[in-house]
Chains A and B, each alone.
Chain A
Amino acid sequence: MLLRTLALCLAFALPAQGEEVVAELSQTNVSITTNFTGSEILIFGAVKRTAPIPDDSDLHVIITVAGPSEPVTIRRKSRVAGIWVNTAAADIDAAPSFYAVASTGPLEDVLTQTDDLRHKISATRLIRAIDTGDAASELDSFTAALLRIRAEDGLFQQLEGDVRLTDDTLFSAEVSLPANLTEGDYATRVFLTREGQVIDSFDTVIDVRKVGLERFLYNLAHDKPLVYGLMSLAIAIAAGWGAAAFFRYVRG
């Protein structure tokens, strides 16, 4: 197994076509402020070459953005004695809180199964690759449900055909980060593929952080929970008293 992996790595390390990817992001810092409503990130770049453009195959670009991973439990309901009850559950060790895959074409056309497995590009691979591995037959329906629910919240985006590629050289794509974002490092990857095989890749990180009041309250709640709790109570009592006093004043 070790030998085979080594062989694969060596094979992969060879620059088969002499094409390299250079990419840049419109912003690498996202600040979550009180009026944060989401953020649009433009990912753009070019293909650097030392030889003329090969015309025997099509060049494709895949861009992925993944939020911090966290464990998830997926539960399924079924009818028991007339009422709907959670009867089955699957645990996933780590699934990204946000995942977007943008590509120049349908993923199955621009990427082979083996390279998908190797680089963990499609969402199902990404989740499957890191699960506990039990109840394998049932797991597919659970991961499908996870992706379906996340997609509804805008936390999983499959943007096939959304990467624009000009003259096999310049590319760009937009990924919109929704408002219900978790803080953390958002790993961003750009892959160049030919005949479904990854020929080069580029990694960077988008830093998503709370700032200002958001940062202050979050830190206080976690570092000094008693102070935070008492402060919440003080605000509640002050507001209750204030409203009572105000209404008494209004009524004379």
Chain B
Amino acid sequence: MQIYLPIAEVSVNAFLLLGLGGIVGVLSGMFGVGGGFLMTPLLFFIGIPPAVAVATEANQIVASSFSGVLAHLRRRTVDLRMGTVLLAGGLVGAGLGVTVFNYLKSLGQVDLLVKLCYVVFLGVIGSLMFVESLRALRRARAPGGAAPKRRQRNWVHSLPFKMKFRTSGLYISVIPPLIVGLIVGVLAAIMGVGGGFIMVPAMIYILGMPTKVVVGTSLFQIIFVTAFTTLLHATTNFTVDMVLAVLLLVGGVIGAQIGTVIGTRLKAEQLRILLAIMVLAVCGKLALDLLIEPTELYSLGEGGH
């Protein structure tokens, strides 16, 4: 069934959009990532104008994250206090990120920088997670292997302004989570995604939060950052397509619920290795696009650079 999108001004298959939303929703629920880093390139691929794709995707992430976070709240796997600290950093970071983005845009080449950002961050994070979770899986399989002791005392514990995060079982300074939130906010604004795929590993490896709490807390923070982004796009660029968003989020919210159930059935190490493989796959695809000669060397953009 073809449907005409009023803002994107293209006609697309409604079931294709529902399906895409569903698949990305499942991943979102499983890993606590918004799925923007997968969905945005997919939308480009089916012919949605990039500006509309980025803005509408933010709106869809609000829905799937909200659906996911409700399930996590009920199971008490959301660290609200940590989420709020991350969010404070995130909103400041998003504001900074938009400024940086507009500056790069004025220089041209913003597409390339966004793509390079993706390749570098997805590559580094994907490989780190893959190696670490593979090691964890091996340790778990070894007979009599003790549970891996991941939380050791490091520089994070020697900073001032300590705060108690009961849900995460942490007593650490607020500076590291603020900085993590800030960096994620900047990158999220530049790369046009929620930033969960950066935040989840940062929470595990830098802040030392338990994996089960990480997913819910990341979703909680993403809701607010993407809601802020949606409003920004809607009021400045008029690029949020409600029809596109509704189709994506109907598939997305259902997928997120299914994903949350799958997520609780898998071991933390398995969950992390799957996320790592997915991140590396997207990274590989983007890297190939940059390296292989494209079939069409020319591309069209809106006039006036």
Residues of A within 8 A of B (CB): 32-38, 70-79, 82-86, 89, 91-93, 142, 145-146, 148-150, 179-183, 210, 213-215, 217-218, 221-222, 225-226, 228-233, 235-237, 239-244, 247-248
Given contacts A91-B303, A239-B250, A243-B253, contact A84 B60 (CB under 8 A): no
Given A83-B291, A217-B243, A242-B253, answer yes or no on A36-B4 (Cβ-Cβ < 8 Å): yes
Number of B residues with CB within 8 Å of any CB on chain A: 61
Whether B231 and A217, one on each chain, are in contact in the complex, defined by CB atoms closer than 8 angstroms, is no
Q: A70–B11 contact, CB under 8 A?
A: no
Within residues 269 to 305 of chain B, which ones have a CB less than 8 A from any CB in chain A? Answer: 289-294, 296-305
- Tell whether, in the assembled complex, residue B290 and residue A83 are in contact, meaning their CB atoms are under 8 Å apart: yes
Is B10 close to A, CB under 8 A?
yes
User: Assuming A35-B2, A89-B108, A181-B9, what are 17 further A-B pairs, CB within 8 angstroms?
Assistant: A73-B303, A74-B299, A77-B298, A84-B290, A86-B108, A142-B298, A145-B297, A146-B300, A180-B11, A221-B238, A226-B231, A229-B234, A236-B245, A239-B67, A241-B66, A243-B253, A244-B70
Q: Out of A75, A93, A247, name the residue touching B257 (CB < 8 Å).
A: A247
Q: Are B297 and A72 in contact (CB-based, < 8 A)?
A: no
The 6 A-B pairs with the shortest beta carbon distances in the complex, nearest first, are A71-B303, A229-B234, A240-B66, A179-B11, A243-B253, A145-B298
Question: How many Å from the CB of A122 to the closest CB on chain B?
Answer: 20
Q: Is the CB of A241 within 8 A of B242?
A: no
Smallest CB-CB separation from B60: which chain A residue? A236
Contact residues, B226-247 vs A (CB, 8 A): 227, 230-231, 233-236, 238, 240, 242-243, 245-246
Could you tell me if A226 and B11 are in contact, using CB atoms closer than 8 angstroms? no
Partner of B300, one of A73, A179, A215, A230: A73
Give the CA-CA distance A78 to B9 in the complex, in Å: 30
Residue contacts A-B, CB under 8 angstroms, 29 given = A33-B4, A35-B1, A35-B3, A70-B303, A73-B300, A73-B302, A75-B300, A75-B301, A84-B290, A85-B109, A91-B305, A145-B296, A146-B300, A150-B300, A179-B4, A180-B47, A181-B9, A183-B9, A213-B243, A217-B242, A217-B243, A221-B242, A228-B234, A229-B235, A235-B246, A236-B63, A237-B62, A244-B70, A247-B71
Q: B11 touching A243 by the CB < 8 A rule?
A: no
Question: What's the Cα separation between A68 and B75 when bound, in Å?
Answer: 55
A-chain residues with CB within 8 Å of residue B294 when the two chains form the complex:
77, 84
Closest-CB distance, B257 to chain A (whole angstroms): 4
Q: Are A236 and B240 in contact (CB under 8 A)?
A: no
Answer whether residue B6 sits at the interface, using C-beta atoms and an 8 A cutoff: yes
* A237 pairs with B231, CB closer than 8 A: no
B26-74 contacts to A (CB < 8 Å): 47, 59-60, 62-68, 70-71, 74
* Chain A residues with CB below 8 A from B289, complex form: 84
Which residues of A have CB within 8 Å of B297? 76-78, 145
Q: Is B111 an interface residue (CB 8 A)?
A: yes
**How far is it, in angstroms, between the C-alpha of A228 and the C-alpha of B241 when the chains are bound?**
10
CA distance A210 to B8 in the complex (A): 13
Q: Which of A37, A181, A218, A244 contacts B7 (CB 8 A)?
A: A218
Q: Is the CB of A239 within 8 A of B257?
A: no
> Given the known A-B contacts A225-B238, A229-B230, are A214 and B6 also in contact in the complex, defined by CB atoms under 8 Å?
yes
Minimal Cβ-Cβ distance residue in A for B70: A244
Quick one: which of A83, A213, A225, A235 contacts B245, CB cutoff 8 A? A235
With contact pairs A74-B298, A75-B298, A239-B253 given, residues A32 and B242 touching in the complex (Cβ less than 8 Å): no
* CB–CB B302/A72 < 8 A: yes
Minimum Cβ distance to chain B for residue A32 (Å): 6
Chain A residues whose CB sits within 8 angstroms of the CB of B291 once the complex forms: 82-84
Interface positions of B from 1 to 23, Cβ below 8 Å from A: 1-4, 6-7, 9-11
